[in-house]
Amino acid sequence: MSAPLRAGLVGLGTMGRHHARILGELPGVQLVAAADPGGDRYRAARGITLAATLEQLLTHRLDYCVVAVPTAHHAAIGHRLAEAGVSALIEKPLAPDLATARALAQAFDTAGLIGAVGHTERYNPALEAMRVRLADGALGDLYQITTRRQGPYPPRIRDVGVVLDLAIHDLDITTWVSGMPLTQVTARTMARSGRIAEDLVLILGELSDGTLTSHVVNWLSPLKERITVVTGAHGCLVADTVHGDLTFYANGSTPTDRIAVEAFRGVTEGAITRFAIPKREPLLSEHAAFRDAVLGRDAPIVTLWQAAATIAAAEAVLTSAATGSSAAPDLPRAPRLRLDPADYLVETATPSSR
């Protein structure tokens, strides 16, 4: 049996403690050390070495490292890991701006390392099942994709607004489940809770095939919602990612004898199916995929280039909100190109691990 991969963790805060829990139980992986300048306030690093700095962490001969620190620190830590020859799973968003994201993606490409970003919603069982059914043509032609992601403000978020923290999930999900890039957006934002950054955004978008998208995202609601609805020619699929549920609402056909309404009847309610799907923890699935990628296996990670494309979409949202006009995402393209129909971005092939 081969030795387990040696993993490190930077950041032991709200998200870092969950990464520590998963790394501590993931088969084929050994969490050997963690680092956080603020210490281990959640006692998540019990039984492993707690390093004072990143440099100390790197002395532990890491195969890969998980980065769970504020977004502003991703670039410095990511570049140092690339220099040290250590693959990395970095929390979302990858960077505070597109230029920084591109530079990080290029650094890992140049080093021949595996780089991934923690867009955990891609591993939500409801959205995974939705993507498979859409690829199989369950809805026929797509018409519209809508999302609602709202709830109370999380005090741990201090360095980005609601667009980069929450709406970035919906921008990524929409292109991922549909397999099509976002071509333009129109958005409006507000800051109602006394913080500098925006805490509410409404986004209207269009995908490359003309499918319309809309997103309601805020930190102002006492109601927590995480809903994705895809409507097409055969009905609609509704994913509730809080509970991991996927439901199909089929178009029905109800005849009518009333000539006046028959011509404008449209669709009617049909059968409703809630699918029985395995409900594995998304963060565990994310870590398992990254482990497999580091081992050189074909695994569904969110590459740095894909994450950069999502940041391009978020920047377009902020540009539209600031200017009052529509904006087009400046989608990045990696230097070594391949076309994969399963991706919404032309990107590099996943390099083999060192």
pLDDT in tens, 108-165: 999 999 999 999 999 999 999 999 999 999 999 999 999 999 999 877 666 789 999 9
Six token digits for residue 290: 């990254």
Chain position carrying tokens 């809805």: 139
Model pLDDT, residue 335: 57
What is the distance between the alpha carbons of residues 104 and 101, in angstroms, rounded to a whole number? 5
- Domain shared by 131 and 254, yes or no: yes
Where residue 88 sits, what CATH number does that domain have? Answer: 3.40.50.720
Query: Structurally, how many domains does the chain consist of?
Result: 2
For residue 41, what are the CA distances in angstroms to 7, 11, 19, 51?
20, 11, 15, 14
- Domain shared by 185 and 77, yes or no: no
| In-domain check, residue 68 | yes
| In-domain check, residue 69 | yes
For residue 184, what are the CA distances in angstroms to 207, 303, 341?
7, 22, 21
Helices (H), 138-277: 162, 168-178, 259-262
State the residue range of the domain holding 79.
Answer: 5-121+282-302
Q: What is the largest CA-CA distance in the chain?
A: 79
| In-domain check, residue 315 | no
Per-residue pLDDT of 281-310, as tens digits, reads: 999 999 999 999 999 999 999 999 999 999
Model pLDDT, residue 258: 58
Residues of the chain where predicted confidence (pLDDT) is lower than 70: 1, 156-158, 196, 253-266, 333-354
Model pLDDT, residue 269: 74
| In-domain check, residue 9 | yes
